[in-house]
C-alpha cells in the first residue's frame, strides 16, 4: 500500500485503520510516548510511523527516521517495537522504510514553530 495521508492533515493513513480501527487510537497514543531525543517531538508528531498492519498473529509497523544516519535510530526502532507490542498485546515487527523524511510529514502546525510554514 502506498503511503497516503488523511485529507486536511499530514497524518499517514494506516492499513490498520480499516482492519482494526479500535486499536489504532490506542496505538497512536502509546507511540506518542516514543520521542526523538534530538528534536524533542514524538514519532507520531514527526510522521515517522508511515503504516501499521495488524492481524491476529502480530503486527508490522512501517517506520522511517528523520535522517538515514540518525544516531538514535536503532534505539527508537526498538522502543517503537516494544511500545507497539505492549499496546497491541501481540508480536510486532518493524519494517524500516527507506522513504526520505521531510518537514512536511510533521503534524499540521508543528513546522511553524521552526519557521518552516
Q: Is residue 117 part of a domain?
A: no
Q: Which cell numbers in the block locate residue 20?
A: 482494526
36 lies in some domain: yes
User: How many domains is the chain built from?
Assistant: 1
Element (H, E) at 75: helix 73-88
Q: Examine residue 7 and state whether it is found in any structural domain, yes or no.
A: no
Between 5 and 25, the more confident residue is 25
Asked if the structure places residue 91 within a domain, the reply is yes
Residue 6: other Cβ atoms inside 10 A: 11
CATH number of the domain that residue 70 is part of: 3.30.300.130
Higher pLDDT, 110 or 63: 63
Structural domain harbouring 80: 16-101
- Residue 113 placed within a domain: no
pLDDT tens column, 43-92: 999 999 999 999 999 999 999 999 988 899 999 999 999 999 999 999 99
Q: Are 23 and 54 within 8 A, CB to CB? A: yes
pLDDT at position 101 is 93
Is residue 83 one of the residues assigned to a domain?
yes
* Average pLDDT score over the chain: 88
Amino acid at each position: 500500500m502506498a503511503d497516503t495521508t488523511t485529507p486536511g492533515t499530514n497524518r499517514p493513513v494506516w492499513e490498520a485503520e480499516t482492519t482494526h480501527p479500535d486499536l489504532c487510537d490506542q496505538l497512536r497514543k502509546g507511540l506518542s510516548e516514543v520521542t526523538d531525543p534530538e528534536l524533542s517531538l514524538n514519532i507520531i508528531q514527526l510522521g515517522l510511523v508511515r503504516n501499521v498492519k495488524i492481524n491476529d498473529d502480530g503486527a508490522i509497523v512501517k517506520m522511517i527516521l528523520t535522517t538515514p544516519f540518525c544516531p538514535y535510530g536503532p534505539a527508537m526502532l526498538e522502543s517503537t517495537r516494544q511500545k507497539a507490542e505492549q499496546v497491541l498485546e501481540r508480536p510486532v515487527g518493524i519494517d524500516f522504510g527507506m522513504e526520505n523524511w521531510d518537514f512536511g510529514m510533521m503534524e499540521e502546525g508543528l513546522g511553524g514553530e521552526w519557521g518552516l510554514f
